[in-house]
Amino acid sequence: MSKSIVSVVNYEEPIESVRKSINLANGFEHLPSNAKVFIKPNIVYWNRHCDYPKWGVITTSRVIEDIIILLKEQGIDDITIGEGIVSEDPKDTETAKNAFEKLGYNLLIERYGIKVFNIFERPFEKIELAEGLTLKMNSDMLHSDFLVDLPVLKTHAQCVVSLGLKNLKGLINIASRKKMHSADPGQNLHYNVAQLANKIPPCLNIIDGIYTLERGPSFDGKAHRSNILIASTDILSADLVGAMLLDIDPLAVPHLLQAVKDRKRSLDLSDIDIKGEKVEDLASPHEWDYIYADNNTLPLPYQRAGISGIKYHKYDETMCTYCSGLNGILLSGIKMAWKGIPYDNIEVLTGKVMKPTPGMNKTILVGQCMYNANKEDPNINEMIAVKGCPPSTEELETALKQAGIKVPSYLFKNLDKAPMLFMGKYQDKPEFEESFYQIQ
């Protein structure tokens, strides 16, 4: 069996570093002449109301433009960038427009004649990725001749890493994204992510590690300037090497292990030929997990701060993207409201499978799934339901008040501006350059 080639390159300069990574990996080997090419960046989050740390969170615009230039050199004229950015309102189209403008994609349209799509404004097709797993995926990508998958080299609190396979989740519709976080242990999030590449066209996976992220996937993680590019025409091989560069055993990543088994790949990774830099020279430890204490009922920093009278169970993989966004707001509210007096024996449940603990005074059920699963549970003394799919922040604020958690009013009044608070850790550090997310 021939080995899959994966290139690992130090990012040193625009265009040429990306060119080197592609050439080492024979990245355009399967690129048809006059191909219709679809580029999938990672814009996991965007805020149009304030600035926030983009480093390690989203794909750099620098690498996006480099790829377009190199495709143009191959004679490719039909190029589309497509992404589905999730915001609080599923009908929100302004956030995607704002992202494309501020990241310079509209300049790329003018300069190179490409197309840029918010996939939520484009058609989807129902596609069976595996037995029992049918999702709706973006039609533009499915009918392309070639896919350039451009994830970021980062960790993920639920999936351990978020690389090429996980990046494809951004090409499915909202209902399918919720479905990915299934409560079925046989087809859980890890199994489902492993199937996302099953029906894609020939692909070049370039993992953008100019900036990397630990405890990702969003702006509350910790970014590093790492200057790494990974490329391969085999999406799984690139991800396996990507995990290694994050100093994470790739076979300890459930969705990568699932994909290796599905494809009957070598468990010792001996079927991968790494060209360029040595992994051991560039790998650096990146934490992915958020540590909880007290039998996973309270984040460790909260326990150390003495917060008591509340059980906030650790998230699991059944909590979907929308409720994940509320998770941080809830935790922030609980911390801000803490005055040293124990809370009133409160329990917070998220996801799809958590069950109430007997003896709690108040139980907050976050999201429609949690409400549907537990609304009749006799172990609930006082139920506080944050319904909706997704729930609104107004419902969340009301629920906290009902539970006696007196959150300062400015938290909810300034939610749109809250992400900018995370900018402080990067201030006055010259290695964190905004220019990587702009088109010059």
pLDDT tens string 38-61: 999 999 999 999 999 999 999 999
What single-letter DSSP state applies at residue 47?
Answer: -
Tell me the backbone φ, ψ of residue 71, rounded to 5 degrees. Answer: -65, -40
332 and 404 belong to one structural domain: yes
pLDDT tens string 336-371: 999 999 999 999 999 999 999 999 999 999 999 999
260 and 301 belong to one structural domain: no
Strands 222-232, 4-10: pairing kind: antiparallel
91 and 22 belong to one structural domain: yes
Which residues are within 8 A (CB) of 101 and not within 5 positions of it... i.e. 6 or more apart? none
Helices (H), 306-346: 321-337
Q: State the burial class of residue 308 (Cβ atoms within 10 Å of its Cβ: 0-12, 13-18, 19+).
A: middle
67 and 192 belong to one structural domain: yes
Which residues are within 8 A (CB) of 424 and not within 5 positions of it... i.e. 6 or more apart? none
260 and 403 belong to one structural domain: no
What single-letter DSSP state applies at residue 43?
Answer: B
What single-letter DSSP state applies at residue 151?
Answer: -
Q: How long a stretch of residues is the chain? A: 440
What single-letter DSSP state applies at residue 171?
Answer: G
In angstroms, the Cα distances linking 237 to 118, 202, 204, 230, 246 are 28, 14, 11, 10, 14
pLDDT tens string 165-187: 999 999 999 999 999 999 999 99
Q: In which domain, by residue range, is 33 found?
A: 4-288
**437 belongs to a structural domain:** no
Structure tokens at 128: 């069976």
278 and 340 belong to one structural domain: no
pLDDT exceeds cutoff 80 at 90: no
* Residue 283 · residue 245 · CB < 8 Å: yes
Q: Is the previous residue joined to 217 through a cis bond, with omega within 30 degrees of 0? A: yes
Return the bridge partners of 385, or none.
Answer: 365
72 SS3 class: helix
- CATH number of the domain at 216, please: 3.40.50.11440
For the segment 239-255, the average pLDDT, to the nearest whole number, is 98
**83 belongs to a structural domain:** yes
Q: Is 141 left (phi over 0), alpha (psi -120 to 50) or beta?
A: alpha
**430 belongs to a structural domain:** no
Which residue's structure tokens are 């690498």?
Answer: 63
pLDDT tens string 248-305: 999 999 999 999 999 999 989 899 999 999 999 999 999 999 999 999 999 999 999 9
Round to whole Å and give the CA distance between 181 and 316.
9
What was the pLDDT predicted at 379?
Answer: 98
Q: How many CA atoms lie within 13 A of 411 on its CB side?
A: 20
166 and 236 belong to one structural domain: yes
Q: How confident is the model at residue 88 (pLDDT cuts 50, 70, 90)?
A: confident
Count the domains in the chain: 2
pLDDT exceeds cutoff 90 at 390: no
Instruction: Give the global pTM.
Output: 0.97
| Domain end point (choices 243, 269, 288) | 288
